[in-house]
Amino acid sequence: MSISPHAGQLGHLRFFGAVSASISHEIKNVLSIIRERAGLIEDLLDLGLGSGQLPDPARLRTLAARIQDQTARADTIIKGMNRLAHSVDHDRATVDLGDLVELLATLSARRASQAGLTLVLPDRAEAATPAVTLATCPFALLHALWLCLGAAIASPGAEPRIELDIGPQPAGVAITLGGIDAAAALRHDDLATSEARDLLGFLGLEPAPDEADPTALVLRLPPRLPGDGAIDG
């Protein structure tokens, strides 16, 4: 593995392990709900056979719909894991930052929920704005954003949500994490280690409070990795 050596390979493995553990818990929860709903359907059918009456079709339809909802949820979770796994396909690639932030939100949904928070993404279809792209190391950037979002989740604001936004900047692009205590997030352990600082430096990622809004943390990124010219993929 040659991805962002300045960040430390052990740190990358810890990130991948943390995401894998979170996803496995989510999948286990989905399977438990499906098993519970399927068991209830079986109980209703057994009662119906015993009494000579068919179960209430409306109730069966509701249970079936809930099972379908959970299978759709599992599909979203597994697709997120698949996209994370493929983020190591290229050490360097041009990525759609909106797609990457959506993947980050999918991977982080469980830990945000555990903190009582909801992650709010911009409606890209409604905004109808051009894609925001940059040339970077996709896996390393996901790792860095995971750390930044983790610090934001640990530093909530007055409302139980974190608003994620993206946009171009004069010298690159920026991701904004809004609705938090930005100063506290910058002091959080996730961003305080030398390993984290090396990773941010490798990417040229500069987190700073919004000058006009202390409840927003702005993550500025250059259009390509510092000192890097070659891009594959």
CATH 3.30.565.10 holds for 91-221: yes
Listed in sequence order, the DSSP H helices in the chain are 9-51, 57-86, 97-114, 124-127, 138-153, 182-187, 189-192, 194-203
Q: How far is CA 80 from CA 100, 102, 152, in A?
A: 10, 9, 21
Token pair in block for residue 107? 């991977």
Query: Which amino acid would we find at residue 118?
Result: T
Global pTM reads: 0.85
Residues 6 or more apart whose Cβ sits within 8 Å of residue 227: none
Query: DSSP 3-state assignment of 139?
Result: helix
The number of CA neighbours under 13 Å toward the Cβ of 19 is: 25
Query: Which amino acid would we find at residue 94?
Result: T
The pLDDT score that the predictor gives to residue 230 is 45
The pLDDT score that the predictor gives to residue 3 is 54
Q: Are 209 and 155 in contact (CB under 8 A)?
A: no
**What's the rounded Cα separation, in Å, for the pair 221 and 223?**
7
Residue matched to tokens 């996709």: 138
Write a three-state SS string for 147-172. Answer: HHHHHHHCCECCCCEEEEEEEEECCE
Run means of pLDDT, 10 residues per run, the chain, 233 residues: 58 91 94 95 85 83 94 94 92 93 93 95 69 92 96 95 91 94 94 91 94 94 79 44
The pLDDT score that the predictor gives to residue 231 is 44
Token pair in block for residue 127? 């905004």
Q: Parse the chain into domains and list their residue ranges.
A: 91-221
Q: Are 5 and 203 in contact (CB under 8 A)?
A: no
Q: How far is CA 144 from CA 4, 56, 73, 74, 202, in A?
A: 11, 51, 26, 25, 10
Token pair in block for residue 68? 């379908």
Listed in sequence order, the DSSP H helices in 116-210 are 124-127, 138-153, 182-187, 189-192, 194-203
